Structure 1
């Protein structure tokens, strides 16, 4: 009897895992970040760069972004237990019960200049996905083996086998198409945003008398471009697998 109880306790401990930040960012990525920040500081220090009120807005946005990034790194955590998986970010915690989890998948990211190339995603029964913070090949020596071991340990808590279901795969594929369209549209909107900033700087420096128009252009042009590009990319995209 005692041996059975001890085995049960070992099984319970086996699913209790916590993935926190173990390795700092690489030197190359840290150097690139420093270059970006130094260039931003240099541009803000130039008296003829942008007007003071716009400079203040840019600095405020950069500070907010820096605070979010700092908290995301310091607080980022994925915890696994008998009741499910919880992912803690900068300001909130997202939880998924085991019976709501469809699959755990290790997927290669398209970005080449990132430290982590293999990321782990949690897919729910509705086809939505959630990134598992610090469950990647930068923080773990063998992330695929870790996730496979995690799937094995979690099998008894899910109440069902890890098997593919066509209806969920269809939802994942549809959401992948939408996500890809949104990512491409976001890139296009950012390009429009920077173009609008260039026009705004030129308009203010030339004192053409249309600053209100330029400010509205800075706000609405990227939004209009995003909406248009999302629609265009969705129409041109075909359904693709979740790892695409």
Structure 2
């Protein structure tokens, strides 16, 4: 990053190796599901999902990046690009990602928050691509200060929005985990039906029931965590 007097010019791209363990696991699932396991439509659904995941990971590694200039920040994702002028940026924060502890994903990614409390990932501005993401973000905010009409002070209204959005994300994450357990249970039930000669209803059991569980559990957990979220201190 250049000095403040010379302007801001920085781009964050992949500089470390690919998450081969994660990609290998998806590839194994892809190959196994394409040859085994009932029903046939379920195999192709898994194959399509695995192929989509591989394509997304590839695009995220080679196409995604974060570009910072005097005008603002551009976050180029796997498919979509977003740009924020500095006055539109409420804060930039490095947050812990529990799924990154195995190094298949960043453990400390950086996110941009707007004034509506919405959170956006800044690709490759994380501990996998930057030696010290906290120091990098601090220097970035310091260099951007002259280009903002506001200070970096926290605002209770926005902090409340951030907390409630985080609670909803947590609720839907719990709902997705619960739906996954339901899916595994229904898969085992379908195998048991096939082994005992009982009538099978694969689409109902493997698609409709898990989707209903996702919507129901996601809504319930989202409501629960949202109402447990304390308001920001004034």
* TM-score of the two chains, using structure 2 as the length reference: 0.85
Aligned residues: 227
> Deviation at 1:231?
3.2
Between 1:124-133 and 1:53-62, the stretch displaced more is 53-62
> Deviation at 1:201?
4.0
Q: 2:64 aligns with which of 62, 65, 76?
A: 76
> Deviation at 1:13?
4.8
Give, in whole Å, the separation in 2 of the partners of 1:207 and 1:185: 32
| Structure-2 residue corresponding to 1:192 | 182
| Structure-2 residue corresponding to 1:163 | 153
| Structure-1 residue corresponding to 2:7 | 14
RMSD: 2.5
Query: Which 5+ residue runs of structure 2 have no aligned equivalent?
Result: none
Q: Secondary structure at the match of 1:86?
A: strand
Query: Which 5+ residue runs of structure 1 have no aligned equivalent?
Result: 1-8
When residues 39 and 164 of structure 1 are mapped into structure 2, their CA distance, relative to the original with a 3 A threshold, is: closer
> Deviation at 1:54?
3.0
When residues 149 and 109 of structure 1 are mapped into structure 2, their CA distance, relative to the original with a 3 A threshold, is: same
Q: Secondary structure at the match of 2:78?
A: coil
Give, in whole Å, the separation in 2 of the partners of 1:12 and 1:241: 39
Which runs of structure 1 show a deviation greater than 6 angstroms over 4 or more consecutive aligned residues?
Answer: none
Does structure 1 conserve the Cα–Cα contact (< 8 Å) formed by 2:12 and 2:65?
yes
* TM-score of the two chains, using structure 1 as the length reference: 0.82
5 Å-filtered alignment, 1:60-209, equals 60-111=48-99, 112-114=101-103, 115-204=105-194, 208-209=198-199
Give, in whole Å, the separation in 1 of the partners of 2:29 and 2:200: 29
